[in-house]
Structure 1
Amino acid sequence: MLTALFAFLSMAGADHHQPDEKDVILAVTQTVFDAMAAHDGDMLLAAFHSPDTPLRIIRPQADGPTIIQTVPVSTFAASIAGSEHDLYEAGRDSTVLVSGPMAMVWMPFTFQLDGQHSHCGVNNFTLAMTQDGWKIIDSAYNHDTDCAEDGFPKK
């Protein structure tokens, strides 16, 4: 009986220390921001399923149609690796949805270039569980300059 009680307590303790799946997924997206700040293209690429994974930038235009640009993440990785600017991006209030081997992260963000606020928007990451863990398989963000005082998107 005592052995069964110890076994139960150890299993309960082990479950308590397991990271929540949503936290693991958010850690993958945080890698993108960390890689940008470190100018580390390889670190950035490690968060993605493939160097060809699309990154879509959605830029609303005041006097015309919205511009949608698609580049492979390898192009973005090369640009951050070669940048001489301080890059800082932070997200908050993320929504993470998981359905089996697929997840989606909706993350409002603020971006600073050389310590000055540049823009804000929302990142939309789609991830898949691969043999190497969660990887980003699609990414899009909108580029907005009409941000709240704290630098994040207006609600």
Structure 2
Amino acid sequence: MGKIFIVLMLVSSFCFAQKTEKDAIKEGVEKLFTGMKNADTVMIKSAFADDAILQTITKNEVVKTEKLQNFLSSFSKLSKNDADEKIRFEAIHIDGNLASVFTPYEFYYKGKFSHCGANSFQMVKQNNVWKIQYLIDTRRTNCNK
């Protein structure tokens, strides 16, 4: 009986210790926001695939595209903790090496609320690492806080 208990404990601890694919995807997304909070452009860049696309839907319903290098430059001018985007993982869908992630957010600049919206990520798994291939977001100030 004791041997069976030990085997069951080892098997269950091994199963729970395994990182799920959703956990790995969340880590890929969270790397971006950790890098933003730390004003670490190297970390931010590492969250993205080489040919990533970044877009925002403006208040005027125009889709604006931003180059990754310009996005990185904006954070290179900040200090640690200047930019803090708080996200909630609302949905993650996976099919092989493709994942879709939806995260509502609130953005704080230098500790003060700035805006809110939602991020939609298309993630790709490259060399066993989840990277952001496509990011589009909305930005608004009427957030029903």
Q: How many residues align?
A: 144
Q: Percent identity?
A: 26
TM-score normalised to structure 2 length: 0.88
SS at match of 2:58: strand
Which residue is equivalent to 1:152?
A: none
Which residue is equivalent to 2:86?
A: 90
Deviations 1:44-66 (A, max 9, x none): 0101111x4111011123xxxx1
Which residue is equivalent to 1:38?
A: 38
Which residue is equivalent to 1:129?
A: 125
Q: Write out the 4+ residue segments of structure 1 that deviate beyond 3 Å after TM superposition.
A: 2-12
Asked whether the equivalents of residues 33 and 85 of structure 2 are also in contact (C-alpha less than 8 Å), the reply is yes
Tell me the C-alpha RMSD between the 2 structures.
2.2
Please tell me whether residue 120 in structure 1 is matched to residue 116 in structure 2: yes
**Counterpart among 75, 96, 101 of residue 97 in structure 2:** 101
42 and 93 in structure 1: CA distance in 2 versus 1, 3 angstrom threshold: closer
Which residue is equivalent to 1:153?
A: none
Asked whether the equivalents of residues 105 and 119 of structure 2 are also in contact (C-alpha less than 8 Å), the reply is yes
**Counterpart among 107, 115, 138 of residue 142 in structure 1:** 138
TM-score normalised to structure 1 length: 0.82
Quote how far apart the aligned CAs of 1:83 are: 2.5
Quote how far apart the aligned CAs of 1:9 are: 5.1
Matches within 5 A, 1:11-90: 11-50=11-50, 52-61=51-60, 66-84=61-79, 86-90=82-86
Structure 2 spans left out of the alignment, 5+ residues = none
Structure 1 spans left out of the alignment, 5+ residues = 150-155
Quote how far apart the aligned CAs of 1:100 are: 1.1
